[in-house]
Each structure stands twice: as structure tokens, then as C-alpha cells.
Chains A and B, each alone.
Chain A
């Protein structure tokens, strides 16, 4: 594992870590492919001209895990996501998706990798010229799938993000939050096992931001999706690292706080500073750190 416990990391955290690896091994007996991380960065470097963007980044995202990447604007967070999709290529280092080294893949080879990944862009990045229906159906239309099948899938996805009424609208008619949710629905078509969120709550009001986080939690806990959640909002981190989704006896999805019943171990934090990872670990460790940079980031002063 690539987590780097900070100096003051408690013994408790180490114990959690050990237990976690033991569980991984147990799982491996039944499902050997679960040992292979969904995403792995190995010493990735990237610079634009003289500007170092990423300086030796290494981390892994296990299956069903959510990695929250924190950092200030321009700290290389979005770049990390663009590297996973092959929209950018690193100067050195390796990037592995499902154990497959994609670092030197051509644009054509990347297309098959991208089919496994859903990406939610900062502002939604919906196609202006297409309706909500066509936006969500985009991937299926490209694959030439029959219209009746497409419609069922699009309605299922819009139901997941609770936007069935907007099906015939154009992106320009939607609010910022709705655009983001349509973006999520579009990313989830085809049930990708990896979903990348690039600041999905930036510029949204708190309740809408909460809705987006709930969607990410649902994906993590109910759909077993591995994800990277890039953000700089501490509220998002709080939701993602302390709540989990479950289905109650009425079949409704409910969100519960971690605590005595369950300790959330499938969300980890990575903090970037000037292209380097300065923290990697659980939220409890993050809260206990006395790194002045992290404290300033959390408190804002």
C-alpha cells in the first residue's frame, strides 16, 4: 500500500491498515481480480515547459474505494484525472488501470480503456447542441445500440440522478446543479467500474453539493465503483469520509453516519501540494495532523 502515515499517526491507524490488508487477502481467495488496484500511479512526473505540475506522484485506488484528492487550485488535481483518461501523457512514471499499463497507449488503444471509465467534468461539459436525452445517450448512440434499449438506459440513469423531468430540455435551460447531475448520468451510462469526479461541486449551493456527494456515496457503497473525487471543499470530504449508503427494509436508500455499527474504510484522502503528495491516509489521520499547510487548508487561515 502506498499510504504514508504521518509521523504522529496513531497505532490505531496502523492496526486498521493491517486489518485492511488481511481482508484484501481473504477477498483474494474468492475474487482474485480484486487484489489488482483499479487505478495505480507509480512515480508520475509531468511538467509544462519549466512548470512542474506533478513531481513523483504514487498512489493506488483499490476496488470499491473512493480517493478524495485535496489541494489548492493549480496544484495538479485535475491533471491527475486527465492523465488517467489519457487526455495527457506523463513525462515519466507509470499509470495502471486494472493492472494494465496505459502509460504509452495510443489514442486508439485508450478508447477501450476509456470505455471502463466514467468522467464527471467541472462544469458538466454537456454538449450544447444536444438535448439532455442525447447527452446521456451519447455513448450508446456512438455504439449504435437500438433506440428502445437506449431509452430504457437513459431513463434509468436520469432516475438515478433524479432528473427524469429534464429529459427533453437543452443544456442551456438547466441550472448549474442540474447540468452537473446530467454530467454524472452521462458518465454512468454503461455502468463503468471507475468514476472520476473533477470538482463536481464547485460553485454549487450547499444542498445541491450535498446531493452530488450522496450520488458519489451511493456509487461507492451500492454499486462497488472505484472513484477519484477531486475537490477543495472540506464539506465534501466530511460527507464522503463519514457517511455510508445502505438500503433499509423498505428498499429506500438511506445515509448513515459511521460509528459503532460500521467504520468506513473505503475512503482515503490524498493531499497535493505543488505537485507532491504531502498526505495520504484516512480521515481520522487527516484530522489529527499538525502539518501547518494542511491546517491552513482546512481552516482557511
Chain B
């Protein structure tokens, strides 16, 4: 019961945080500079790890599925296999997990340290709402940048898949690209971009909440950083299932 109460309480607090950050966007002063700074930090800063993750994930997908495809005589469809799994699932989820590891931890550690050193109190005492100054720019930056990072990861994943297919299994690039193009639909692409919008919101709000609710000094900062990464990763994965189901029913995607 206590656990359920704690869960509901945290859910309520996170929702309140999102609402107050959202409505704060329409009041002045607006922190546009801060949003751009966070976009640079989150987006450009995470690009290398997301590209590497995408590239090697695409590569390993081909590495593992190609022998099976050969068994069924369907090696020409290798591109389709890697494209659907990457664009629908692995691109959004893996990018979100990488970003939650890199950015979620940074956000909660930074905000947690600010709580512990009374900087958040000082900010409120000086008449600034931390939800508007600190939380909103981070959530907005994550919502805007995560889809872009996902697209980059997808492209590099296909590139990785193509290179592995050509160099290890001798599959022609043209054949690969054709099967990629046949394999993916507009719905896949839209779905693959809608997902990271939500993942950005989840990572941003969970990490900010965990950071701002830090207690017990420096030990608490460590604790809230860990729980920010763990919680946002788990929520991303669970949410991904339901989001996939929702996208399937919205776009009326049925098994062929």
C-alpha cells in the first residue's frame, strides 16, 4: 500500500511539474537563450554516442539476421528487416536510453547539487520560479532534440547495416537500398518520430523531478541521479510498448 501511495504521489508531483513548466512558457520572462543552450548541450552533445549506437546496432542486426534470411532464401529482404526494426523500435528506444544515461543523469545531478547547496532556494528567494527557469528549458530541449537524434541514429543504423551486408555478406548496395525503401512506410517514419517526443518528455520530467526532490546532502545527489536514470529508462521501455500499440491502432497497421 505504501509503495502504491509513493508511486501515485510521485506521478502526481511529476504531472504538476510538467503542467507548471508548460504554463510558465507563456509568461515573461521567457528563457529562450536557456532553451537554446540546453538544445546544444543535449542535442549536439549527445550526437556522437547516438550515431555510434545507431551504426553498430544496424550492423549487428544484419550480422545476426542475414544467415537466417539466407536459409529462407530471402537475403534480398535484408534491408527491410533492418529498416523496420530500426525505424519502428530500436532507433527511438536506444536513442532514448542513451540520452537518459547521458542527459538524465546530468540533469538530476546538477539540479540535485543546486538543491543541496540551497541554490534552488536562493533562486526562489530572488523571485524566479525554478520550474520555469530550469525545468521547462530542459524538457523542451529534450522534446525537440530527441526526435532529431533518433532520425540521425536511424540513418546511421541503415548505413551500418548496408556496410556490413556489403562487406561481410557481399550484398549489393542497390539491392539493400531498394529493400529498405520497399520495407518502410510513411506510418513507420511518423511513428518513429512521435515516440521520441514522448520519450523526451519522460526523461526530462523524471530527471528534473528526481533532481529537485533531492534530500540528505551529497549522498542524496548520488541516489537521485541513479534513480533518475533507472526510472526514466524503465518508463521509456514500458511506455514504448503502449505507444507502439497506440500507433498501430491509429494508423491501422495489421499483420500481413
Give the interface of A toward B (CB within 8 A).
82, 85, 87, 107-108, 111, 114-115, 117, 119, 121-123, 125-128, 138-139, 142-144, 186
Structural contact, B117 and A139, CB atoms closer than 8 A:
no
Structural contact, A87 and B122, CB atoms closer than 8 A:
no
Choose, from B51-59, B125-133, B148-156, the stretch at the interface: B125-133
Structural contact, B121 and A111, CB atoms closer than 8 A:
no
A-B contact pairs, 7 of them (CB 8 A): A111-B127, A121-B121, A126-B122, A127-B119, A138-B128, A139-B127, A142-B128
Kindly list chain A residues whose C-beta atoms are within 8 Å of the C-beta of B128.
138, 142
Structural contact, A127 and B125, CB atoms closer than 8 A:
no
Kindly list chain A residues whose C-beta atoms are within 8 Å of the C-beta of B117.
123, 125, 128
Give the contacts of B111-146 with A (CB-CB under 8 A).
Answer: 117-119, 121-129
From B20, which residue of chain A is reached at the shortest CB distance?
A: A107
Inter-chain CA distance A143–B126, complex, in Å, is: 11
Q: Return the contact of A82 from the options B29, B119, B121 (Cβ within 8 A).
A: B121
The count of residues in chain B whose C-beta lies closer than 8 Å to any C-beta of chain A is: 14
Inter-chain CA distance A143–B125, complex, in Å, is: 14
Structural contact, A138 and B126, CB atoms closer than 8 A:
yes
Structural contact, A122 and B121, CB atoms closer than 8 A:
no
Kindly list chain A residues whose C-beta atoms are within 8 Å of the C-beta of B125.
85, 87, 114, 117, 119, 121
From B124, which residue of chain A is reached at the shortest CB distance?
A: A87
Inter-chain CA distance A126–B121, complex, in Å, is: 11
Structural contact, A114 and B126, CB atoms closer than 8 A:
yes
Inter-chain CA distance A171–B55, complex, in Å, is: 42
B112 to chain A, nearest CB (A): 13
Kindly list chain A residues whose C-beta atoms are within 8 Å of the C-beta of B126.
114, 138-139, 142, 186
Structural contact, A85 and B127, CB atoms closer than 8 A:
no
Inter-chain CA distance A244–B119, complex, in Å, is: 32
From A107, which residue of chain B is reached at the shortest CB distance?
A: B129
* With A82-B121, A125-B118 as contacts: A142 and B127 at CB distance below 8 Å: yes
Q: Return the contact of A85 from the options B28, B29, B124 (Cβ within 8 A).
A: B124
Kindly list chain B residues whose C-beta atoms are within 8 Å of the C-beta of A127.
119, 122-123
A291 to chain B, nearest CB (A): 32
Q: Return the contact of B29 from the options A108, A125, A142, A186 (Cβ within 8 A).
A: A142
Q: A82-B121, A111-B127, A117-B125 are in contact. List 16 more A-B contacts (CB 8 A).
A: A85-B124, A87-B125, A107-B129, A108-B129, A111-B129, A114-B125, A114-B127, A121-B122, A125-B119, A125-B122, A126-B122, A127-B123, A128-B119, A138-B126, A142-B29, A144-B28
Inter-chain CA distance A142–B122, complex, in Å, is: 14
A263 to chain B, nearest CB (A): 34
B21 to chain A, nearest CB (A): 13
Inter-chain CA distance A186–B123, complex, in Å, is: 11
Inter-chain CA distance A89–B122, complex, in Å, is: 17
B121 to chain A, nearest CB (A): 6
Inter-chain CA distance A122–B123, complex, in Å, is: 14
Kindly list chain B residues whose C-beta atoms are within 8 Å of the C-beta of A186.
122, 126
Inter-chain CA distance A143–B29, complex, in Å, is: 7
Q: Return the contact of B121 from the options A117, A125, A139 (Cβ within 8 A).
A: A125
From B129, which residue of chain A is reached at the shortest CB distance?
A: A107
From A143, which residue of chain B is reached at the shortest CB distance?
A: B29
A7 to chain B, nearest CB (A): 39
From B131, which residue of chain A is reached at the shortest CB distance?
A: A107
Structural contact, B118 and A114, CB atoms closer than 8 A:
no
From B133, which residue of chain A is reached at the shortest CB distance?
A: A142
* With A87-B125, A139-B127, A142-B128 as contacts: A122 and B118 at CB distance below 8 Å: yes
Inter-chain CA distance A126–B120, complex, in Å, is: 10
B221 to chain A, nearest CB (A): 14
From A85, which residue of chain B is reached at the shortest CB distance?
A: B125
Kindly list chain A residues whose C-beta atoms are within 8 Å of the C-beta of B121.
82, 85, 87, 121, 125
Kindly list chain B residues whose C-beta atoms are within 8 Å of the C-beta of A123.
117-118
Kindly list chain B residues whose C-beta atoms are within 8 Å of the C-beta of A143.
29
Kindly list chain A residues whose C-beta atoms are within 8 Å of the C-beta of B123.
127
Inter-chain CA distance A147–B198, complex, in Å, is: 39
**In the complex, the 10 A-B pairs of residues with the closest C-beta atoms, listed nearest first:** A125-B118, A125-B122, A119-B125, A121-B118, A114-B127, A111-B127, A139-B126, A85-B125, A125-B119, A115-B127
Q: Which of A122, A125, A128 has the most chain B CB atoms closer than 10 A to its own CB?
A: A125
From B27, which residue of chain A is reached at the shortest CB distance?
A: A108
Kindly list chain A residues whose C-beta atoms are within 8 Å of the C-beta of B122.
119, 121, 125-127, 186
A120 to chain B, nearest CB (A): 10
Inter-chain CA distance A108–B124, complex, in Å, is: 10
B151 to chain A, nearest CB (A): 31
Inter-chain CA distance A118–B128, complex, in Å, is: 13
Kindly list chain B residues whose C-beta atoms are within 8 Å of the C-beta of A111.
127, 129
Kindly list chain B residues whose C-beta atoms are within 8 Å of the C-beta of A85.
121, 124-125
Structural contact, A144 and B129, CB atoms closer than 8 A:
no
B109 to chain A, nearest CB (A): 13
Inter-chain CA distance A123–B118, complex, in Å, is: 8
